[in-house]
A and B are shown apart, each in its own frame.
Chain A
Amino acid sequence: MTIFRKTSDAATGKLVTKEVTVINKLGIHARPAALFVKVASKFDSSILVEKEGEQINGKSIMGLMMLAAGLGSKLKLIAEGRDADEAVAELEKLFLRKFDEE
């Protein structure tokens, strides 16, 4: 078993984007970031998260933590791949559920 994941089959799929707002009080700090990555990593699609023009890999917890997305931040989810629709839908749910924090 290797823990180095293969890159996704992004090129073959479609592109889905969605704007979301951070509504949990503490923002996307370490635990929500871990949860986001856990969910994002289930999908083959490549996932990018954009904040104020800055894009990071949505499967990278460090990238997410460095976005420093606090309460009220507007983010854009960009998924590309065959399961891009499901990925965006599930990730959006995390935001609406406030990452199970409150």
Chain B
Amino acid sequence: MSGKTPMEKTFQGIGVSPGVARGTIYVFSVADEVVPEYDVKPDDVAKEITRFEQALIATRQQLHELQQRIATGIGSNAPTSILDVHLSLTEDPALIDQVTSRLESEKKNVEFIFHDVARKYVKTMQELQDEFFRERSIDVQDVNRRILSNLLGREQRALTQLPANTIVVANDLAPSDTSALDRTHVIGFATDVGSHTSHTAIMARSMNLPAVVGLHDASQHLHDGQIAILDGYSGTLIVEPSEQTLYVYGQLEVKRHSLEERLATLRDLPAETLDGHRVAVSGNIELPADVPALTRVGAEGIGLFRTEFLFLDREELPDEEEQYRAYLEVARLVQPHAVIIRTLDLGGDKLPAGDRIPSESNPFLGLRGIRYCLANPEVFQTQLRAILRASTAGNIRIMYPMISGVAEVIQANELLEQVKFDLRQEGAAFHEEVEVGAMIEVPSAALTAEMIASEVDFFSIGSNDLIQYTMAVDRVNERVANLYEPTHPAILRLIRGCVESAHNNGIWVGVCGEIAGDPIYVPLLVGMGVDELSVGAASLPRIKEVIRRLTYREAQEVAAASLHTNNGRDVLAMLNALLQRIDPDLLS
């Protein structure tokens, strides 16, 4: 021990998944590295040039390997691929000349000079007026990072093997970073950027682990092995906590523990209002491994199984057999309840393996969800076959994402019928009456819900995207995130319209977005007539608690009043007051 007492330091962010974790920090970094700067002897300049040359060769080899791997994957039919661009960047004569001439004149280490030259290029590109050209600086940064890693002799870090009790700290975590995450040893997540609805937040809630986002530049000030407390309630990350802090947290833990214990007693009780209105509360999962956490809190099945995690970060598509096993495993685990399997929702921020390069100028308005599936029927039908074959126990439901109108539902159902026909021909067993639902997350679908309702057995409102598309707000853009308002009159009207259309057609409607898992919105959703709420394991007991302390009558009243309120802030204040009255402990 050094004998020096480390200083406690607190970073404030936004708590996006509840819980407190005490553990050891692991900094996952794909962002800019800290680059050393030192002088070299005139005689050693040649050595630096050789190191540069070797790093470029190594980078090119890595890119070639990557290109070969991708060639076997999907979506690599571009005549000149983005990897050609990357390769070309590693042999750019202007860049190489600048680095070598500066090496000779300044006599500094090559990583410092390279980093400086590359940074200036990126900066110039980022200042271009045309957004489309400006965005290409991502490719330049990507290649520069590879070259720099090779110069520094550092390997890309992975999250596949972590020490016990690890708090993962990163600038940001993408689905591709976390698809191979070591789930047994991670106890919390802290990121510099993000919001309540970013990938880190959703993943943490589904894993029932605390998470704090929006910590600005915390990841740059932290290093592996530091002891920290991560508080997902208050949104703080406390590094090298003092004895005093540890004591305070010990006390808080006792208090929270008693709330958790109270909530734990609800496990086997129904989500029923005081006046006997029943709501189903189910869970959202990404992987079969997420099921036990939901079973422990008494989820009534799975309201959303995001299947794309089977597809991400791999070289080839999972075949029918692999998918079948995953779906069957979940179906068995959740019995006697049901699981809603959402068909492939790739695109936008979650592109398929090897195709994570932004090839669309606006991917959120691009080929994603059902659009991708209808454009790639062989991929879609393989998945449908696997789902149907796993459906023999009768507790699997199918849901199509990103539906924008009834025509897509009809087309998807036709493909489903074709698969059923084939299976019958082959004599393969499946559940004939498998229920099919449409995800309502595009405003055009919400506005035509009446028409869609006649083609499906249920609706599931994907509130995150519905809000984002309706409000024209990118939910991860910190500058406009404040406009992302679940209580906006437009959103309330769309949800109300969906519920009415569903009930008029005798089908049920669920909500599987983040608002379903936030106690504050629950009375509103229940009051509007939503039949099912599907949430992450961490939120589930709280949601049940709210429902059990509420009367359906007051929920209906608050919903009616909300629909007559002309701004979202007043609605939120009303909901806040209601929750304050029925269970103030849940407000924190």
- Enumerate chain A interface residues (CB-CB to B < 8 A): 2-5, 26-27, 29-35, 37-38, 56-57, 59-63, 65-66, 68, 70, 100
Contact = CB atoms under 8 A, between A and B. Distances in A.
Contact of B85 (A5, A27, A34, A68): A34
A99 B89 CA distance: 18
B129 interface: yes
B95 interface: yes
B133 A27 contact: yes
Interface stretch (B36-44, B120-128, B246-254): B120-128
B161 interface: no
A61 B132 CA distance: 16
Contact of B94 (A32, A38, A63, A100): A63
Which applies to chain B's interface (DSSP): helix, strand, loop or mixed?
Answer: helix
A52 to B, nearest CB: 13
B84 interface: yes
A60 to B, nearest CB: 4
A30 B57 CA distance: 21
Interface stretch (B75-83, B212-220, B267-275, B501-509): B75-83
A68 B128 contact: yes
Q: Of residues A30, A56, A70, which shows the largest number of chain B Cβ atoms within 10 Å of its Cβ?
A: A30
Contact of A61 (B56, B78, B89, B130): B89
B282 to A, nearest CB: 44
23 contacts: A2-B53, A3-B53, A3-B57, A3-B60, A4-B53, A4-B100, A5-B91, A5-B93, A27-B132, A27-B133, A31-B82, A31-B85, A34-B85, A35-B80, A38-B88, A60-B95, A61-B88, A62-B92, A65-B125, A65-B136, A65-B140, A68-B129, A68-B133
Contacts, number: 82
Given A4-B96, A100-B79, A68 B57 contact: no
B93 A31 contact: no
Interface of B: 53, 56-57, 60, 78-82, 84-85, 87-96, 100, 121, 124-125, 128-130, 132-133, 136, 139-140
A30 B139 contact: yes
Contacts of A68: 128-130, 133
A61 B85 contact: yes
Given A3-B91, A57-B94, A63-B94, 8 more contacts: A4-B100, A5-B91, A27-B130, A34-B84, A35-B84, A37-B92, A61-B88, A70-B133
A68 B85 CA distance: 15
B128 A66 contact: yes
B85 A33 contact: yes
B93 A30 contact: no
A25 B263 CA distance: 59
A56 B94 CA distance: 9
A26 B135 CA distance: 13
A45 to B, nearest CB: 13
A3 B56 contact: yes
Q: Of residues B93, B100, B128, B132, which shows the largest number of chain A Cβ atoms within 10 Å of its Cβ?
A: B93
A3 B132 CA distance: 30
A5 B53 CA distance: 11
A31 B78 contact: yes
Q: Of residues B53, B85, B95, which shows the largest number of chain A Cβ atoms within 10 Å of its Cβ?
A: B85
A35 B80 CA distance: 7
Contact of A31 (B53, B84, B140): B84
Given A30-B139, A59-B93, A61-B92, A66 B80 contact: no
A66 B88 CA distance: 15
A100 B82 CA distance: 14
A62 B90 CA distance: 10
A66 B140 CA distance: 11
Q: Of residues A38, A61, A63, A100, which shows the largest number of chain B Cβ atoms within 10 Å of its Cβ?
A: A61
A24 B313 CA distance: 33
B133 A57 contact: no
A2 to B, nearest CB: 7
Contacts of B94: 56-57, 59-60, 62-63
A29 B133 contact: yes
Contacts of A37: 88, 92
A31 B124 contact: no
A59 B95 CA distance: 11
Contacts of B90: 3
Nearest to B96: A4
A100 B77 CA distance: 13
A26 B359 CA distance: 12
Contacts of A65: 125, 133, 136, 140
Contacts of A62: 89, 92, 94-95, 121, 125, 140
A97 to B, nearest CB: 11
A31 B121 CA distance: 18
A35 B79 CA distance: 10
Contacts of B82: 30-31
A88 B94 CA distance: 20
B88 A34 contact: yes
